[in-house]
Structure 1
Amino acid sequence: MTNVYIAGAAVHPFGKHKTLSAADLGVSAAATLLADTGVTPDAIQAGFVGSVYGGSLVAQRILQRVGVSGQPVFTIENACASGGSAANLAWQGIAAGVYDCVLVVGVENLSAFGGGTLPLTTADIEIDQGVVMPATYAMRAQRYLFETGATVADLTNVAVKNRGNGALNPRAHLRKAVTAEEVEASRPVADPFNLFHCCPNSDGAAAVLLCSEAFAKQLGRPTARIRASVVRSGQFHTSYRDMTWPDITDRTASAAYEMSGITPADLDLVELHDAFAIAEFLHAEALGIAERGKAYQAVADGEFNIGGRVAVSPSGGLLSRGHPVGASGVTQLAEAYWQLIGTAGDLQVPNAQVALTHTTGGGIFGVDNGACSVHILTAEG
């Protein structure tokens, strides 16, 4: 296979952008990326846009406004893994030698829903009975606390860490550090979560330029190599399910480690899907960067801090950066790219050489999650 590289990234800052459509946000990110890299629209051989609620043909509505018109263009919906899935398909096309230069965009405007929990699919037995994502993650949290001896204070440690990181990120939705007391005083959402244990619904967009090695050399820009790109779906069954073990993350990450030849011990930073504070514990353990049942201790001991053993969500994660669902996976790749080329500013992880990004989501009956994407990147040169 042809080696695949990221050679540029751009993010429209996350937040509440009620006057902008999903297409407007996507155009902002894509146009900034093309201007920054100097790549002309006719050099883009294909476009992949991840979005859940952006509407029909959102990819065409974005890319034609930046001059990418006539090329093959695809809109990818795969729940919270939509952006990561779009990147995976772009990676496949370049790795197979079909394309040399591909534009990937992730976009969402959740302000259109006016607040509250995100609408989930209909005709699903669990959703018809009232299941929403905060309640699902709250059940996972209750079981994890029961089995491990962790406490709500440990969940609060995740929120404090990630909000502290996000306070340094000019692209983050929530740019204010919080204390443990402020987290605990925020309003209840779903026991044991308070508001600050939950990610905000955000609007935003991100774009990354994926290219072959030959195109990257011709472009002459700093690059990071994508050593692995893997997407998996949930395995359906109706028997007992361990709510403290995200099997889909374990399977996806295991395939990525095998593909890349990289191990969890090699990672310098991880951008994971911390939609709720408990997710950092669950996914860190499934990704192999913490012993099962011990991730809460790693957070408490500072092992996941910037400058710690492995920086987890140095960008602020979903808890601070926000979660415009289609954009999250692409933004993670942008943040990892900047880390690996050494331009992450106040967020910079010292001597970052290896990064992993992870998104998972989609609550449907019979699976732990609908889709999961994992990418492993390394610094080049």
Structure 2
Amino acid sequence: MVYILGGWQSDFSANWSRRGWGLADAFGEAVAQGLAATDLAPSDIETGHVGNFAGELFAGQGLLGGFFGLVHPKLDGLPTMRHEAACASGSCAVLAAAAEIEAGRYGLSCVVGIEQMRNVPGQTAAEHLGAAAWTGHEFQDARFLWPAAFSDLAEVYDQRFGLAYEHLMAISAQNFANARRNPNAQTRDWRFPPEAFTADDVANPVVEGRTRKQDCGQVTDGTAVLFLASPERARSYADARGVPVESLPRIKGWGHRSAPIPLDRKLATSREASSEGGHVFPQVRRAIDDARARAGIAHLSDIHAVETHDCFAITQYMAIDHLGLTAPGQAWKAIEAGDTAMGGRLPINPSGGLIGAGHPVGATGVRMALDAFKQVTATAGDYQVAGARNVQTLNIGGSTTTTVSLVIGT
């Protein structure tokens, strides 16, 4: 059993280059602020894990675990590791830290998710992010690789089930609206005219294929930090603060699956495997089910909110049916019924998600887990889901090459 003691998230609207910051500055702020938020001391940390996708490409910097030693002298000598799984890097860092605790190696771990992405031109950023596809083998003609890739996913949904663009735009509009309640969201102060959520080529221009501007998650500088603890350390932490250890959230279940890197291979597999119930990405479905099974959750009604990977609106559309809220291809029914909105049957991305809150790639999985922690401790403020006791995360890397799902609850 692994407990979550708390954490901290940076303001995702910040542009670090304009501040004169590099990765080390942001890393130091995250750890220091996280320690303050959880009332922990540097000497309490026994191991450190970093989720980061492309520090070498965006900032020319690898070996990010070495930044722990810059934060405080007590962290000089700390055992550290860095984890890369594209957009699922942060979740893989959480999994690795949890595994160390479960193995009895350490009692308290600091997990940092971090990415700097706004220090290069947009075209360069798109090229860097393309490293999560099969380089030299897919989407070589696309100017913006990932908008092209997820345009293909939208095309598959349209061919197999039918797809109306208005339902994708309902997802984007909802996530931007949720983000306005999140004080750390990148887009909290953004406002759009109604035509921005239509197929208007001026207000919502095409980026690649079927993908338009408002379909896309954000390019973001950001950090998130999380502190994980063994039952023994969690009990001592709770006792020192006069609270029952049962009130501390824990990682109740996890799922982790990988698939072949090319998108067309994944789509061909799901087309041929009728035994999978018709889901477009069988491994995504398996990761979700694995997390719930390990958490002992048999019914969707026992999940009270979801933080999911809306790198594009179609990704959240896919997540809705893979989460089991609808049958495959029928996510539109949940959207039209308001099931995924705040106050709905299963609120999705109360934080604003990647479209509204922002998407610093290596930090996203850690941020999702932190938002789940906030929800189940009723500390999410204006974006709190009333009565949330179990929150599921769904974090994907590449074209669902890596999928990680967590169930976090009390």
Residues 360, 371 of structure 1: 8 Å contact kept: yes
Which stretch shifts more, 219-228 or 37-46?
Answer: 219-228
* Cα distance in 2 between the residues matched to 1:141 and 1:162: 19
Does structure 1 residue 376 correspond to structure 2 residue 407?
yes
Count how many residue pairs are aligned between Structure 1 and Structure 2. Answer: 372
Counterpart of 2:220 (choices 202, 205, 216) is 202
Residues 50, 83 of structure 2: 8 Å contact kept: yes
Counterpart of 1:219 (choices 231, 237, 240) is 237
**Paired residue for 1:56?**
62
Alpha carbons of 1:63 and 1:248: their partners in 2 closer, same or farther (altered >3 Å)?
farther
Counterpart of 1:231 (choices 228, 249, 256) is 256
Shift of 1:242: 4.2
Residues 53, 89 of structure 2: 8 Å contact kept: yes
Which stretch shifts more, 260-269 or 241-250?
Answer: 241-250
**Paired residue for 1:313?**
349
**Paired residue for 1:126?**
138
Shift of 1:231: 2.2
Alpha carbons of 1:63 and 1:115: their partners in 2 closer, same or farther (altered >3 Å)?
farther
Counterpart of 2:206 (choices 188, 207, 216) is 188
Counterpart of 2:388 (choices 338, 352, 373) is 352
Residues 47, 63 of structure 1: 8 Å contact kept: no
Residues 265, 289 of structure 1: 8 Å contact kept: no
Shift of 1:235: 4.1
Shift of 1:178: 4.1
User: Scaled by the length of structure 2, what TM-score is found?
Assistant: 0.86
* Cα distance in 2 between the residues matched to 1:314 and 1:348: 7
Counterpart of 1:161 (choices 174, 184, 208) is 174
3-state SS in 1 of match to 2:106: coil
Which stretch shifts more, 236-245 or 328-337?
Answer: 236-245
**Paired residue for 1:366?**
none
**Paired residue for 2:284?**
249
Does structure 1 residue 324 correspond to structure 2 residue 363?
no
Which stretch shifts more, 68-77 or 217-226?
Answer: 217-226
Alpha carbons of 1:327 and 1:99: their partners in 2 closer, same or farther (altered >3 Å)?
same
Which stretch shifts more, 344-353 or 174-183?
Answer: 174-183
* Cα distance in 1 between the residues matched to 2:256 and 2:210: 31
* Cα distance in 1 between the residues matched to 2:69 and 2:303: 34
Unpaired runs of 5+ residues, structure 1, are 364-368
Alpha carbons of 1:177 and 1:342: their partners in 2 closer, same or farther (altered >3 Å)?
farther
Which stretch shifts more, 215-224 or 84-93?
Answer: 215-224
Alpha carbons of 1:189 and 1:128: their partners in 2 closer, same or farther (altered >3 Å)?
closer
**Paired residue for 2:58?**
none
Shift of 1:148: 2.7
Counterpart of 2:339 (choices 303, 311, 322) is 303
* Cα distance in 2 between the residues matched to 1:290 and 1:63: 48
Shift of 1:287: 2.2
Counterpart of 1:12 (choices 10, 33, 52) is 10
Residues 268, 355 of structure 1: 8 Å contact kept: yes
Residues 7, 224 of structure 1: 8 Å contact kept: yes
Residues 69, 77 of structure 2: 8 Å contact kept: no
Counterpart of 2:114 (choices 87, 107, 111) is 107
Select the structure of larger CA radius of gyration.
2
Alpha carbons of 1:309 and 1:66: their partners in 2 closer, same or farther (altered >3 Å)?
farther
Residues 285, 293 of structure 1: 8 Å contact kept: yes
**Paired residue for 2:321?**
285
Q: Which amino acid aligns with 1:198?
A: C
Shift of 1:188: 1.8
* Cα distance in 2 between the residues matched to 1:251 and 1:180: 37
Q: Which amino acid aligns with 2:62?
A: S
Shift of 1:164: 0.2
Alpha carbons of 1:229 and 1:63: their partners in 2 closer, same or farther (altered >3 Å)?
farther
Q: Deviations over 1:61-82 (max 9, x none)?
A: 2453244221210011111100
* Cα distance in 2 between the residues matched to 1:377 and 1:115: 35
* Cα distance in 1 between the residues matched to 2:338 and 2:69: 42
Alpha carbons of 1:123 and 1:187: their partners in 2 closer, same or farther (altered >3 Å)?
closer
* Cα distance in 2 between the residues matched to 1:276 and 1:100: 37
3-state SS in 2 of match to 1:125: coil
Residues 69, 78 of structure 2: 8 Å contact kept: no
Q: Deviations over 1:208-247 (max 9, x none)?
A: 0000122122112662111013322114785824487122
Shift of 1:137: 0.4
* Cα distance in 2 between the residues matched to 1:36 and 1:154: 39
Q: Deviations over 1:113-143 (max 9, x none)?
A: 3213242237441154548111010111122
* Cα distance in 2 between the residues matched to 1:180 and 1:249: 33
Does structure 1 residue 334 correspond to structure 2 residue 370?
yes
* Cα distance in 1 between the residues matched to 2:137 and 2:308: 28
3-state SS in 2 of match to 1:14: coil
Residues 207, 331 of structure 1: 8 Å contact kept: yes
* Cα distance in 2 between the residues matched to 1:28 and 1:330: 16
**Paired residue for 2:36?**
35
* Cα distance in 1 between the residues matched to 2:92 and 2:122: 26
Counterpart of 1:268 (choices 271, 282, 304) is 304
Shift of 1:293: 1.3
Q: Which amino acid aligns with 2:161?
A: T
Shift of 1:200: 1.1
Residues 4, 227 of structure 2: 8 Å contact kept: yes
Unpaired runs of 5+ residues, structure 2, are 56-60, 242-246, 272-278
**Paired residue for 2:46?**
45
